[in-house]
Structure 1
Amino acid sequence: MSEDTNEATPVAELGFEAARDELIHVVRTLEAGGQDLDSSLKLWERGEELASRCEEHLAGARKRIDDVLAAKDEGTERGDGAEAE
């Protein structure tokens, strides 16, 4: 995975797995050191964008799960009320 390829892909277009994988790569590169200050700052900024994108995907997944569970609970409550009558 080259940095040029990563920077060419807008973060907003990345799925969760692609953003996560690239974030891992960015963190490893930063931890390894050896980058000049400007390169390190660009990588850090990209990493922040990638982390935010991952959080967006996770929040969306959590909302979908909550919606399904809420719908299931509503169905169960309606069913319980009907049985009690």
Structure 2
Amino acid sequence: MVDTSRIDLNLLATLEVLLAERNVTKAAAKLHLSQPAVSAQLARLRDLFDDPLLLPAQRGMTPTAKATELAPQLREALDRVRSTLQSHR
């Protein structure tokens, strides 16, 4: 069983942007955060998922197999959260 008390929804939103941008600096700009803040969040995500998630590449970063597998489920879950919040405004 996963310890859900360690999960911060902001971390999952950061992961979604990191997977889309494949670059910490670009993700930070899109999230209106500093690059060190996004790097720290990526470190927490790596710990949470026990996987590096994104590996340095010649240009940007390359997602691991686990990150690639998580991406559609993550997008769907966050879309549901956004939809729920939007419908109850």
TM-score, normalization by structure 1: 0.42
Between 1 and 2, higher relative CO (CA 8 Å, sep ≥ 6) is seen in 1
More strand by share: 2
Higher Cα radius of gyration: 1
More helix by share: 1
TM-score, normalization by structure 2: 0.40
